[in-house]
Amino acid sequence: MSKDLYTVFGGTGFLGQRIAGHLLENGHRVRVVARRPERGGDLLQHARAEAVSADILRPESLSAALQGAAGAINAVSLYRETRDLTFERVHCEAASQLAAAAMRSGVGRFIQISGIGADPRAADDYIRARGRGESVVRDAFPSAVIVRPSVMFGEGDAFLTAIAQTIRRLPIYPLFGQGLTRLQPVYVDDVAMACAKLLAAAHAERLYEFGGPRVLTYRQLVGEVAQAQGRTVHMVPVPFAVWRAIAAAADILPAAPITRSQIALIEEDNVASRTVPGLSALGIDARDIVAVAARLGGQR
């Protein structure tokens, strides 16, 4: 095993690319793994970065990606199901196989990215698969570290960009219900920095929940983003039943703008537990969504 080599599955993604970047900044070597790793862009120009093509749904492709690594992290996502690609396959079966392959390869630390609210008993397929995924990963790799971020924002995100664009483009802002769901948006770079630290740390807890510095209702958040953009916003409550109907109708589209699972997620508060270690336990000062929104304003 090479003490300074780390494998990032999903290393070309929104979070994974930043985890790889922080590992490189910290002086480590990084294997950037994805089905199309060439999408890692500038990251792959780094002398200590290596691109490896692997599909976590194909267990035979995993050992080359894990060979000799001191640690590995699963930052692979699936937000929309297709006929073959289900939440269960990616977030449970493949995650379990990946954790088992990491165990066999003698990887010292394995991190599974999950999400706040993951619940094996949830009615929603996505939330349930995330919850079940945590426990099957633990079965395969007992010392695995589970990281649950709240909704993440940052350059190239889906969340804050959608809010900013809706404020800019629509005369009214349709809220999810009354807009009272409490969220704790977290800066993707803070989560990535934390994951890079955890991969190389001598000691890690088994579960972390990462949230930003403030808990805001969705309504407050929209108001603050509008203010940061220097715009007025007219918010209109839209019942969750209407959103569920829209998401069900959108399901038949190849690139659904909103999914049933996204509605299920936004119906529940998404706030880090006070009893689970978070970013501050790793010495990270979480950055605020509105401050970052103002800084990134020109790009949205």
Ligand X SMILES: NC(=O)c1ccc[n+]([C@@H]2O[C@H](COP(=O)([O-])OP(=O)(O)OC[C@H]3O[C@@H](n4cnc5c(N)ncnc54)[C@H](OP(=O)(O)O)[C@@H]3O)[C@@H](O)[C@H]2O)c1
Instruction: Name the residues that contact ligand X, by CB under 6 A.
Output: 9-16, 34-36, 39, 54-57, 75-77, 113, 115, 149, 151-152, 159
Closer to ligand X by CB, 75 or 200: give it: 75
Closer to ligand X by CB, 89 or 242: give it: 89
Closer to ligand X by CB, 161 or 242: give it: 161
To ligand X, the closest distance from the beta carbon of 245 in angstroms equals 24
Encoded tokens for 182: 């409490």
Q: Cβ distance 205 to 163 under 8 Å? A: no
Closer to ligand X by CB, 135 or 242: give it: 135
To ligand X, the closest distance from the beta carbon of 230 in angstroms equals 26
Closer to ligand X by CB, 152 or 222: give it: 152
To ligand X, the closest distance from the beta carbon of 84 in angstroms equals 11
To ligand X, the closest distance from the beta carbon of 77 in angstroms equals 3
Nearest CA-CA partner of 181 in 153, 150, 154, 227: 150
To ligand X, the closest distance from the beta carbon of 64 in angstroms equals 13
